[in-house]
Structure 1
């Protein structure tokens, strides 16, 4: 009996690892594609949005990045409903293909100097396709992985999915740093910036092959056997008061809080250090790599901690720390440009705060909602928060800084948002770590 039980547990563990690798690989490609654009925002300005004012070109480039984020909720609404009606797996195949094709095409785009106004038009169009794809993938993958994870240690098991965003940034940043190191500035502006997008083709083929072997989640298979799927999941979600409440909590506290911290820590710090602090781009890229490497184990630890202490306490602590320390951290970065070690320590500290919110996030997305409408209920508010709150954060903060004549003042926006999210979460967010995902 012991041998049979051990063998079954081993098979189950092996099956989950296979699912986790496939889900994570595809999500990594989504984030790699999506965030390479953000990493190259400073480069895209003069190539696609030429202007006599460098600040205007940067704003235009950041706005294009933001466009992809804004349409994410549309993708979430479309693909989330499909995931509840016909299954989680088919959505994965569509979104990974759409994102990969759009990203590879960016690598072949002509610049403004070559085709004029068509260059930014084509760039924005491909960015829209990226956003639609990311809306279906990011959030839906959390549901898929959590439904495969079982009842124990879900926070730890699913936290690895949250590593894909940082890894996407790490790989794209490392590539760009290497290209800038081995190419002259003229070579990089001419063709070197295209290389990360070309590499997406290889990543797409690998991810597609791996995902072909994925199986549908056991929870959805049970729903389909009993014909318990929702025919109109979005409508059902909006008509149910408890689901509406939880969708708002997911949007405002968990997903928006995580998105604000993610873009403050992983995206805007790089832009801030390059444009406001005036550090060398190569040095900033190196610092970003160190901070991202620190974030990886911290995220897994936060997921594990949420299995012990509860999802709510871990997430709320991250929101409170973020609200209290974002402004002081950026003041410190600006005032201590001569100490690279201190700057690195601040970036690692910000990464630890981010980890507290995103570590338990994958499990929370699925645990908050009933099985038959879970995919659409989780993906829509999650992508709405990431797209409209997090995605526009660099643009809004940069614009506010320019309006107020300060490189720091715009950070009051994320500070106040995180503080508000912490208060709402303390009052209303339920604890979910022991819920039955089958219900």
Structure 2
């Protein structure tokens, strides 16, 4: 709504802050709701009987019988839930914007539409977990997601920006560089500087979402980008002053953009060629995976731990799982794409984590749907 009212230029300059400021209203509402709630009957009864833990941190993390459940619920539960969640909502949007170059307003509306359609499934899978179990649904969500991410994201490319396929077939891109100059471009806080000729070339191609292959060059040589028959030498920026690097980088970016355009690589997805119903369907499918792993997770975590240390014990796997395993997904995936030139290679991160969670969860975590949550 803000982008539509303000216009894209104003929104991207400063208007994107407005939704964050408006969230103050949501905060006020959530604080009000929280103040009207009582503690759970389980906690109140435990407190009245004097059974509350006097050292919840010690009981949660310093005793192996509980610590192993904490570790397993992280690696065999919330880690997989987190990457499936972040892939379905956040990485999907990142992929539409950065890889397929779909116009931001369109991408956001497509994601919003998929969330609108998929949200009722949170209730469905939460309710289903009360009947058939939490573990079955979460593990199934992780496994199905891991098996289908590659075909789904390749289909998103086919229906969202088909020109990329045509250009890649007619004018393939190759980065010829000394492997020793090529860094793994993991930059979670946006402060790292990648200034070797290889890193400059790969970073620009990755940001433009241009698929490419790698070819080793002589040690110490300056990297090159080959687009079909055309060869563009990169430049070595490691010893350049910041101002000189900026000028050279802008010039090289302009040259590369011109060469890619001549080779048929689109700067943006053509709105007339986007198959909107199919893209929306694929995005909705990704959201349904999210609902499978997220709908039952709160009940499962609550039931895994005794009441006296429940809040402390479940907080660590939930927040580490979502904040670290999920939160780093876009950054890690971009670095993997930049390293390989394969716009789908970043999907290996959520796939590996989801498979790990499925294996550990199936082998080492119990089903809890019939467990009495009053136990202390």
> What is the alpha-carbon distance in structure 2 between the residues aligned to residue 254 and residue 357 of structure 1?
9
Partner of 2:76: 253
Shift in Å, 1:295 = 2.1
CA change 1:434–1:393 in 2 (3 A) is same
* Structure 2 segments unaligned to the other structure (5+ residues): 161-273
Partner of 2:60: 237
> Does residue 227 of structure 2 align to residue 404 of structure 1?
no
> What is the alpha-carbon distance in structure 2 between the residues aligned to residue 268 and residue 190 of structure 1?
23
> What is the alpha-carbon distance in structure 1 between the residues aligned to residue 275 and residue 350 of structure 2?
26
> What is the alpha-carbon distance in structure 2 between the residues aligned to residue 402 and residue 428 of structure 1?
36
TM-score, normalised on structure 2? 0.67
Q: Deviations over 1:1-34 (max 9, x none)?
A: xxxxxxxxxxxxxxxxxxxxxxxxxxxxxxxxxx
> Does residue 296 of structure 2 align to residue 360 of structure 1?
yes
> What is the alpha-carbon distance in structure 1 between the residues aligned to residue 27 and residue 356 of structure 2?
39
Q: Which stretch has the larger CA shift, 211-220 or 382-391?
A: 211-220
Question: Do 1:257 and 1:418's aligned partners in 2 also have CA atoms closer than 8 Å?
Answer: yes
CA change 1:349–1:190 in 2 (3 A) is closer
Q: Deviations over 1:116-135 (max 9, x none)?
A: xxxxxxxxxxxxxxxxxxxx
- Structure having the larger proportion of residues in helix: 1
> Does residue 362 of structure 2 align to residue 430 of structure 1?
no
Q: Number of aligned pairs?
A: 262
SS of the residue 2:148 aligns to: helix
Shift in Å, 1:248 = 1.8
Shift in Å, 1:311 = 1.2
> What is the alpha-carbon distance in structure 2 between the residues aligned to residue 354 and residue 362 of structure 1?
14
From 379, 390, 394, the equivalent of 2:330 is 394
> What is the alpha-carbon distance in structure 2 between the residues aligned to residue 191 and residue 410 of structure 1?
30
> What is the alpha-carbon distance in structure 1 between the residues aligned to residue 12 and residue 158 of structure 2?
31
> Does residue 4 of structure 2 align to residue 181 of structure 1?
yes
> Does residue 18 of structure 2 align to residue 195 of structure 1?
yes
Question: Do 1:327 and 1:415's aligned partners in 2 also have CA atoms closer than 8 Å?
Answer: no
Shift in Å, 1:184 = 2.9
Shift in Å, 1:403 = 1.3
Partner of 1:209: 32
> Does residue 244 of structure 2 align to residue 421 of structure 1?
no
Mapping 1:107-186, distance limit 5 Å: 178-186=1-9
Q: Which stretch has the larger CA shift, 228-237 or 186-195?
A: 186-195
Question: Do 2:43 and 2:307's aligned partners in 1 also have CA atoms closer than 8 Å?
Answer: yes
Shift in Å, 1:194 = 1.9
Shift in Å, 1:367 = 0.3
Partner of 2:140: 317
Instruction: Please provide the CA RMSD for this pair.
Output: 1.4
Partner of 1:42: none
* Structure 1 segments unaligned to the other structure (5+ residues): 1-177
- Structure having the larger proportion of residues in strand: 2
TM-score, normalised on structure 1? 0.58
Question: Do 1:277 and 1:334's aligned partners in 2 also have CA atoms closer than 8 Å?
Answer: yes
Shift in Å, 1:200 = 2.0
> What is the alpha-carbon distance in structure 2 between the residues aligned to residue 339 and residue 189 of structure 1?
26
SS of the residue 1:349 aligns to: helix
Q: Deviations over 1:302-354 (max 9, x none)?
A: 11111111111111111110110112211111122232211111111112222
